[in-house]
Amino acid sequence: MKKFYLFLATLMAVACVEKPVASTIEASPSSVDITAEGGEFEVVVKSDSKFDVSEKTSWIEQKTWNVSAGVSTYLYKVGETDSSEPREGIIRYTTTDGVTAEVHVTQAGASDEAVWLDKVFAHRSLLMRFTATWCGYCPMMNEAAEKAMAANPGKIEYVALHDGSSDLPTPGVNKLENTFSVQGFPTGIVDCRAEVPNYNSTDVTASVFSSLVKEAAVVPSATGIKISSKIEGGKIIADITVCSKVKDNFLLTVLLLEDKIIHQQASGGANYEHNSVARASFTDIAGENLEIGNPSIKKTRTYSIDIPASIANKDNLRILAYVQRPNASVSPAKSVEGAYYYDYAGYHVDNAKSAAVGTSSPVDYE
C-alpha cells in the first residue's frame, strides 16, 4: 500500500508541473524593399529571451548591432545588383526555444528601374455582382453589366459572387457580403466604393455602372498588374506581379473565375450561361497586405491551389487580380447620380486585371 501511495504522489507531482511558456520575439519591419542600386536599412528586434540570427541571405550584409534597454537594433547593407531579375532574401531570428521572427527583403532587378515610371498604366475598374441561382432579378443586373462592358471595352473587370445558398457558391463570400453590407440580391459594387441597386431598367443600371467607371478613370492608376499561370497536375500555380508608382500599403486579391457554366438560373431558364463566376480564392477573399516601400519596386507573389472539383471545364478558367489602395486624397470623386457611396474598409480598387489560366499577360499601358 505504501508503494501505491508513493506512486500516486509521483503522478500528482508530475501532473502539477507547469508547461513552459513559449518565448516571444518580434522583428520590425517585417518586409523591406531595396532598389537595384542597393542601400541600408535597420531592423529592430524585441524578445523576452535570448535569440540568435539563425539565418541570413548571403547578399545581405550586417553592418552593426546595438542593444539598448533589451531592444536589439541591426543595420544591414545590400549592394548593387547587376541581375535583370529581382531577388528575394530573408533574415530569421530564433529564440533558444525555437520561436522565430522573419524579415523578408526584396531587391529590384537592374532592368526594373523606371521601366513603368514614365508610362501610364491602363486602368480597369472592378464590377462585383452579388447574386444567387435562385434570384429571379439577378439576370437583369447581369444584362446591365454586360451592356456597361460593351460600352467601355477593356475598362471593366467583372466578377459574379454567388451567395452560399446558391448552386454555384463562392467560398468565403459571406466575408465580402459583410464588408459591403449586402442586404439582398442582386447588389452591384463598383471599385469597392459605390453600391448600385438593381433598377427596373437595365439601361439605367448600365448607365450608372458606366458613369462610375468613367469617374474612377479620372484618377490615374498607381499600379499595374501582370498575371502568369499554369496547371500542374491537379493544381493551378499563379504568379501575380504588381508594379507601383508610389509607396503605399495596398491590398491584393486573387480569385479563380469560371466562364460558360451552363446551369439553371431563376428567370433565366435551365440552360442559362453563367460567366465570371468566382470559384475559389488564391488569397484571403478580402485581400492580403501588399506593402510597397519604393515606387521603383515590383513585387511578385506565387500562389498554388487545387483545382476545385466543381469546375466543369478547365479551359474556361481565368484568374482575376485586383489591387486596392487606401482612399485618402487619391479616391475618385463621388458625384454619380444613382450610386450610393460608402467608405467600406477604407480602400478603393486602384486597378484590376484578368487572364486565362495557362497564359502570361504583361502589365498593360495606355
Taken in order of first residue, the domains within the chain and their CATH numbers are: 25-112 (2.60.40.10), 125-361 (2.60.40.10)
| CA–CA distance, 314 with 237 (Å, rounded to integer) | 13
Q: How far is CA 304 from the centre of its chain?
A: 14
Could you tell me the pTM of the whole model?
Answer: 0.73
Please state whether beta strands 194-196 and 340-341 pair in parallel, antiparallel, or not at all (unpaired).
Answer: antiparallel
Q: Is the pLDDT of residue 9 over 50?
A: no
pLDDT value for 82? 62
Least confident of 105-119, 120-134, 309-323, 325-339: 105-119
pLDDT > 70? residue 224: yes
With CA atoms as reference, report the closest residue to 162 among 61, 77, 275: 275
12-26, 104-118, 120-134, 288-302: which has the minimum mean pLDDT? 12-26
Predicted confidence band of residue 319 (pLDDT cuts 50, 70, 90): very high
Q: Quick one: average pLDDT of 352-360?
A: 97
Residue 113 in this model has a pLDDT that exceeds 80: no
Q: What is the DSSP letter of 315?
A: G
Cα–Cα distance between 57 and 140 in angstroms, integer? 55
Instruction: Give the DSSP per-residue string, 320-352.
Output: EEEEEEE-GGGSPP---TT-EE--TTSEEEEEE
Can you say how many angstroms the Cα of residue 124 is from the centroid of all Cα atoms in its chain? 16
> Residue 127's closest CA among 227, 204, 201, 211?
211
Residues across the chain: 366
Query: Between 172 and 111, where is the model more confident?
Result: 172
pLDDT value, residue 77:
92
